[in-house]
Amino acid sequence: RLRSDGRAAGRLLMKRKDGQTFWGDYTITVYDTLEGRRMVDVFRDVSETVSYQEELERKNQELIAAQTRLLHSDRLATIGQMAASIAHEINNPAAYVVTNLEALRELLEGAKEPLDPRSELLPAVGDSLDGIRRILATTRDLKSFSRLDEQEVLSVDLNEVVRIAAKLAANELRHRAVLRLDLQPLPRIPASEGKLTQVLVNLLINAAHALEERPDGTEEARVSVSSRLEKREIVIDVRDTGPGLPEEVRARLFEPFVTTKAPDRGTGLGLSLCAEILRFHSGSIELVPTPRGACFRLRLPIETGLKVSGPSVVSPRPPTRRLRVLLVDDEPLLLKSQERLLKRHFEILTAAGGAAGLDLLHTDPEIDLVVCDLMMPGVDGPEFRDRVERELPEYLSRVHFCSGGAFTERVRSFLAQNRVLVVDKPLTKEVLEVLASRGGSEYPLDE
């Protein structure tokens, strides 16, 4: 189509007389003469340019894919370094939980008369509960770290992020240094908890490795993390008493592939990734001059420019009657334990799997609340919701989901496309009351 100036231009796939095709740029100009309107067509073969552009795009995609693989490799290396810490945090409490339960079983089996629950039963049960809570806390911390690739923005307490990172990096630090925390009260900020946990884990592990290079007989091997509020910025310092960084490395420290570590200790992408994450939060990271060791300073504004996603906290409303709650899960032992815990407060129904849950919904019109596991064989959480929407739409607002934390791509896609509320296992009385108070499984993203 001609423009107002009488010109037209574009690119076409053309064909020569011999049948070969080629990409050509054309320019058409129309002008008036004394002899009438004339048109000039100019065609130029740009096949080489197009081929070059296609090759450039292909190389660019390969580079992006390679960068993604390297970032994944660097993250796997970090997870591998944390594995011993995680095992320690789980194995120790798991050991005394098992020991207490074995002791309780022997006590109950050997009892010849009624037992006084205050003697040995309650202390053993209390210790076991403490152990389970420690294990659950560790898995929650690890879940925070696993959210690195997600864009979820929460209202985050950075002091809590520091504590989580310290626990995840504990094994790398334990035999190398003393860790000291000096955390001042901070306001919550909109942030990606997983991304910031990754930054602090990376810095703590780097500090631990730096202390391996300390000359013997020097001052105490120490890593310290401090936090404070400066005007409208949160400042976090991560210091170590190691040998510091060579001058030639300092200037390029936050560039990709710059590292002082051995090849088996990382790819050199850690600090460049940290800088990228801080920029995502409108913040910064810098190496601060210090007489000994190294000090990395993080600055994060209170207004990060990010918007908190997810539901606001809703206070539970007291039910006028016992709620009738359907729990859907593929783990029979988990269903039994949940029923045992919750039946004093709710009328609990259980269904072993999504298909059984749908059958119950079809036959029982008095169910007030449904909590369904997301990951199940057969009818999983996404299919369960789809079928409720088609077959029993009046129940849709009562359906919520629970999870142990691991998601398949199918479930991730489902969560991205549907605004559903997901709570962590195990369920508690307070969680069920809040779910019942919401009155629906969907919530506005801008709450």
Boundary of a domain, candidates 110, 125, 145: 145
Residues 169 and 292 in one domain: yes
Do 244 and 289 fall into the same domain?
yes
Q: What is the CATH number of the domain that holds 253?
A: 3.30.565.10
The enclosing domain of 392 has a CATH number of 3.40.50.2300
In terms of domains, do 236 and 99 share one? no
3-state secondary structure of 38: strand
Please say which residue of 145, 169, 204 terminates a domain: 145
Residues 279, 334 within the same domain: no
The reply to whether 187 falls in a domain is yes
Tell me the residue range of the domain where 352 lies. 324-438
| Contact in structure between 166 and 201 (CB atoms under 8 Å) | no
241 within domain boundaries:
yes
pLDDT computed for residue 336 by the predictor: 87
Confidence (pLDDT) at 157: 92
Q: Judge if 261 and 371 occupy the same domain.
A: no
Number of domains in the chain: 4
Residues 251 and 350 in one domain: no
**Per-residue pLDDT, 244:** 81
Euclidean distance between CA atoms 320 and 447, whole angstroms: 27
Domain co-membership, 159 together with 297: yes
- pLDDT value of residue 292: 84
Q: Mapping DSSP to helix (H, G, I), strand (E, B) and coil, where does residue 218 land?
A: coil
Residue 173 and residue 140 share a domain: no
Task: Kindly report whether the peptide bond that precedes residue 289 is cis, defined as omega within 30 degrees of 0.
Answer: no
- Do 85 and 166 fall within a single domain? no
Q: Is 378 left (phi over 0), alpha (psi -120 to 50) or beta?
A: left
244 & 343 share domain: no
> Is residue 244 within 8 Å of 253, Cβ to Cβ?
no
Cβ contacts of 436 within 8 Å, gap of 6 or more: 316, 317, 319, 323, 368, 369
Decide: pTM greater than 0.85. no
161 and 290 inside one domain: yes
pLDDT of amino acid 61: 83
**Claim to verify: residue 26 and residue 130 sit in the same structural domain:** no
Question: Looking at 145, 164, 192, which one is the last position of a domain?
Answer: 145
- What was the pLDDT predicted at 120? 66
Residue 288 belongs to some domain of the structure: yes
Q: How far apart are CA 360 and CA 353, in angstroms?
A: 11
* 201 vs 315: CA distance, rounded Å: 34
* Per-run averaged pLDDT (10 residues), the chain, 447 residues: 72 85 86 79 85 85 71 61 63 75 76 64 76 72 56 84 86 82 92 86 86 63 92 94 77 60 49 84 91 91 83 44 86 86 88 92 87 90 92 88 79 82 82 71 33
Residue 226 is predicted with a pLDDT of 95
| Parallel/antiparallel/unpaired status of strands 189-191 and 154-156 | antiparallel
